[in-house]
Copies of this chain bind each other. A is one copy, B any other.
Amino acid sequence: MSQQSEPDRFRITALGPCTHPSPLGMSTVSGDGVGDYVPDDARVLYDIVHRLGEPVNCDLSFEKAGPRQHLFFQPDKTKAAVVTCGGLCPGLNNVIRSLYYDLCSNYGISELVGIRYGYQGLNPKIGRPPITLSGPFVDEIIHFGGTVLGTSRGPQEPAMMVEFLRRERIDILFCIGGDGTQRGAHAIAEEIARQELPIAVVGIPKTIDNDIQYVNRTFGFITALSEAEKVIDGAHAEAKAAPNGVGLVKLMGREAGFIAAGAALANGQVDFALIPEVPFRMEGEDGLLAKLRRRLHRADHAVIVVAEGAGQDLLADCPDARDASGNRRLGDIGLFLKDQIQACFGAREVPVNVKYFDPSYHIRSVPANTADSILCSELARHAAHAAMAGKTDLLIGLWHNCFIHVPLAVSTGAVKRIDPEGELWIAVLASTRQESW
């Protein structure tokens, strides 16, 4: 029977009172067969695991996302914009399409425009004009990878972007992107607040690396795993076909190894998964090379998956590798491993057959699969609900399978990384049966 106080940190900013009834025609009572609006004070607990007999921590909770009974914006007088920033991610077009139907068909807003090529499109000096989205324009885009609006990297000056929003009479801006994009969105929201404008900024998290805080799973991530799995299958086939065959796959993940870990877990045929969060050594009895020798002795073949950000200390510490390979290998853990394995076995006159796979952008440039399509649809819808209720400077999160509102300032503090003591890494170790490093 707890009472909780709400830490300020997770409080969501609102543009003002909600005076317009929602046109969604939902209900406020359960049992009438009609779906219910989410009350504004509904919260999702931060911690849901506890030990019997010990108190549950109810102090920390997130605002629950969902359709609100009353809106800040009057739909038929509202114009919204959506911008996609940063690297590609499967599902961008799904989010755009769902936003269109949620806002224009379900809420009935007057217009949704698409900003071209990321934040560049909010800079009138270099950007192209926005395009008005329509049914024919968005209907088939879910079948394509990429983003139909175009994207770019890097920020633009907040005041200039806010000026653009004002001039274009845009009431809501949806920013689809990763950590940098959301920091940019926060800067826009702060500038809007400074100018006391009634413009909502809602972030939709997008990162192929799955490394945004308070978002259990980002859209496109499962699709990327699926593509990575196919490459691993090929590496497995190559490894098995050769005597002492080694299939080596480098996957995306600069700061966080979620793709490498997830693909290894899903595929089940990976013998070694190497991620940035868990350092490893090459030499010594528990080094990768010795483990690989034992694995090859035992099973004739091996599959290694390495995140691009893994083992960066090895590259720095290894002057030979640097001398031999020059700048190109600085940071290229895949080629480093390939060379080291070949050199190590060569020195022992044991034939080894390393096949190297670097799918690079391929895993992120495909259309979203089923799991991600659903997630995209849900994220877009919850973003629309939040924005129409005048909530701003927030990101749609996913916590314990619930969609939540997370203040942008909170979410963008630091990237999410794999906990070496957590369930995911335990599962990867159990699946690969690589000894812990």
Interface residues of chain A, those whose CB is within 8 Å of chain B, are 1-4, 6, 25-27, 30-36, 39, 41-45, 48-53, 55-56, 58, 61, 64, 66-67, 88, 94, 97-98, 101-102, 105-106, 117, 120, 139-140, 142-147, 150-152, 216, 222, 225-226, 229-231, 233-238, 240-243, 262, 265-269, 325-326, 328, 355-362, 364-366, 369-371, 373-374, 377-378, 381, 400-402, 420-423, 425-427, 429-431, 433, 436
Contact = CB atoms under 8 A, between A and B. Distances in A.
A52 B6 contact: yes
Identical subunits present: 4
A237 B220 CA distance: 15
B41 A48 contact: no
B401 A433 contact: no
B422 A35 contact: yes
A3 B269 CA distance: 45
A6 to B, nearest CB: 6
A237 B6 contact: no
Nearest to A1: B55
Contact of A421 (B34, B51, B52, B233): B34
Contacts of A225: 370, 374
A248 to B, nearest CB: 11
Contacts of A266: 370, 373-374, 377
Chain A contact surface mostly: mixed
Contacts of A1: 2, 55, 58
Contacts of A325: 328
A137 to B, nearest CB: 11
A225 B374 CA distance: 10
A47 to B, nearest CB: 9
Nearest to A120: B243
Given A6-B52, A56-B58, 6 more contacts: A35-B421, A105-B433, A145-B237, A222-B371, A235-B361, A400-B400
B400 A147 contact: no
A324 B108 CA distance: 44
A420 B33 CA distance: 6
A366 B36 contact: no
A35 B428 CA distance: 11
B145 A143 contact: no
7 contacts: A26-B426, A50-B58, A145-B237, A356-B360, A369-B371, A377-B431, A401-B401
Contacts of A365: 233-235, 237-238
Contacts of A105: 433
Contact of A43 (B4, B51, B216, B222): B51
A226 B56 CA distance: 39
A36 B422 CA distance: 8
Contacts of A364: 234
Nearest to A368: B266
Contacts of A238: 88, 146, 361, 365
B52 A41 contact: yes
B226 A370 contact: yes
Contacts of A357: 360-362
A268 B101 CA distance: 10
A234 B365 CA distance: 5
Contact of A373 (B120, B267, B400): B267
B265 A374 contact: yes
A328 B329 CA distance: 11
A265 to B, nearest CB: 5
Closest 8 CB pairs of A and B: A146-B237, A234-B365, A145-B237, A35-B426, A41-B52, A400-B400, A226-B370, A2-B2
